[in-house]
Amino acid sequence: MFVADCLQVNQEGHLCVEQRDVLELAAKYGTPLYVMSETQIRKNCRLYQDSLKRFYDGNGLALYASKAFCCKEICRIASDEEMGLDVVSGGELYTAVSAGFPSERIYFHGNNKTASELVAALEYGVGTIVVDNLEELEMLDRLAAAKNICQEIMLRVKPGVDAHTHNFIRTGQIDSKFGFALETGEAMAAVKKAVSCPHIILTGLHCHIGSQIFDTEPFLLTARIMVGFLAQIRKQVGCELRKLNLGGGFGIQYTPDQDPPAYEAYMKRVSTVIHETCSLLDFPTPFILMEPGRSIVGPAGITLYTVGAVKEIPGVRTYVSVDGGMTDNPRYALYQSEYQIMNAGLATQEKTMRVTLAGHCCESGDLIGENLPVQHLEKGDIVAVLSTGAYNYSMASHYNRMPNPPVIMVKADQDRVIVRRETWEDLVRMDV
């Protein structure tokens, strides 16, 4: 019935996150409200760590891609679960460091890191910088030299696999702003350049083929291509790179009809592919890194809203307006993402209505979804949007000067604020 184990229904028929009735949470903290399950997040982290142990002799590390949901507490949880961490900006890096995340387990991504971001990364002792382009490589070598540091890096490679097509394709991904293309020789040139930089230590290669991917074939093909490239580098450059970062992108279930593959099954297959390719090419099995973001936090979060105006336009549609919208969840406005919704007080009842869930911004495109099946809904009801743990809070904006909702973390029957609610006063804090 539900898209995540952390969602339950109690005897009153109310939706619960773990053992907390969400109607009580809405009453306690107000709406809109993000609610997350700590148990689910930890379980998802362990799924990655455990499958690396089971199927790859533990010769790898799962990094939590913090852009999916970044705040200090999630960094603490990821650290406690012994995950590594991906950051893609100085702000995410600062958040992680502020939370005490061990900097040697941080991987710093981004296609246009600024000099000040790189300096911060060097000063914080970031373990690995994932270099995206030659300008960055040169700048980093210079900045590291000035600090008398030798910085470990990986190079971001475009393996030429586009996972976002129905029948994924192998070429045509040269058109991406991220990384060095393999097929043009750009990636090989970058490897040669990197090994010649005195203050750079090239440890391996990185790739990331997309997000919300259900098909495991593109991942397997990517692994094969990347191992092949490692062997080619040994032949042409004479160095044996030992680390391979396979990126994130594992899909999650947003609606009941979606059926993402089990992660363990994927890990088992990818492990086989790497071992086979390595033995074929007589290359040592690399240390692998995985970078799940969405699949760690997405299913662990929901958003609660209070229903306001209900407008039935006969023969057209019914608009149900809520007290949040594109400012706390821009994903429908950005890419028509699908969600499952429910009346949190009538969680076990049949879904008898079809509604367009609208936000309260001054923008017609401010919708959470259209034609969504839901139980009876009326003014004052609490509506829950499921699977909003990833790319919701982290993509929130202040359009129309809407303050951002707080994030509540639930563990068993306990709840706590991990990000407090913004106030109108917070909104004018930067204004001069």
Ligand X SMILES: *Cc1c(COP(=O)(O)O)cnc(C)c1O
Decide if residue 65 touches ligand X (CB under 6 A): yes
In whole angstroms, the minimum distance from the beta carbon of 283 to ligand X comes to 24
Task: Mark the segment that binds ligand X (CB under 6 A) among 62-70, 261-269, 312-320, 402-410.
Answer: 62-70
Binding residues among 165-184 for ligand X as defined by CB under 6 A:
none
Decide if residue 68 touches ligand X (CB under 6 A): yes
Q: Using the structure block, give the residue that is written with the tokens 């209900």.
A: 310
Angstrom CA distances, 160 to 61, 134, 190, 211, 277, stand at 24, 19, 16, 15, 18
Pick between residue 86 and residue 381 the one whose CB is nearest to ligand X: 86
Decide if residue 32 touches ligand X (CB under 6 A): no
Annotation says 278 is catalytic: no
Pick between residue 278 and residue 395 the one whose CB is nearest to ligand X: 395
Catalytic residue among 16, 75, 150, 362: 362
Query: Rounded to the nearest 5°, which phi and psi values hold at 374?
Result: -155, 155
Decide if residue 325 touches ligand X (CB under 6 A): no
Decide if residue 92 touches ligand X (CB under 6 A): no
The strand ranges marked E within 246-326 are 287-290, 301-313, 317-322
Pick between residue 305 and residue 391 the one whose CB is nearest to ligand X: 391
Pick between residue 67 and residue 224 the one whose CB is nearest to ligand X: 67
Q: How far is the C-alpha of 99 from the C-alpha of 76, rounded, in Å? A: 6
Both tokens of residue 245?
A: 């970062």
In whole angstroms, the minimum distance from the beta carbon of 34 to ligand X comes to 17
Cα dihedral: 113, 114, 119, 121 (round 10): -30
Task: Mark the segment that binds ligand X (CB under 6 A) among 24-32, 180-188, 231-239, 285-293.
Answer: 285-293
Q: How far is the C-alpha of 286 from the C-alpha of 274, rounded, in Å? A: 8
Decide if residue 204 touches ligand X (CB under 6 A): no
Decide if residue 208 touches ligand X (CB under 6 A): yes
Which residues does 427 contact at the CB level (< 8 Å), separation at least 6?
A: 398, 401, 403
Pick between residue 211 and residue 404 the one whose CB is nearest to ligand X: 211
Q: How far is the C-alpha of 40 from the C-alpha of 251, rounded, in Å? A: 16
Which residues does 165 contact at the CB level (< 8 Å), separation at least 6?
A: none
Going by their DSSP bridges, the two strands 151-158 and 414-419 should be labelled as unpaired
Binding residues among 94-123 for ligand X as defined by CB under 6 A:
109
CA angle 394, 41, 67 (to 5 degrees): 25
Pick between residue 2 and residue 64 the one whose CB is nearest to ligand X: 64
Decide if residue 294 touches ligand X (CB under 6 A): yes
Decide if residue 299 touches ligand X (CB under 6 A): no
Q: Hey, which residues does 289 pair with through a beta bridge?
A: 61, 245
Active site residues: 362
- The residues of the shown chain that bind ligand X, judged by CB under 6 A, are 65, 67-68, 86, 109, 208, 211, 247-250, 291-295
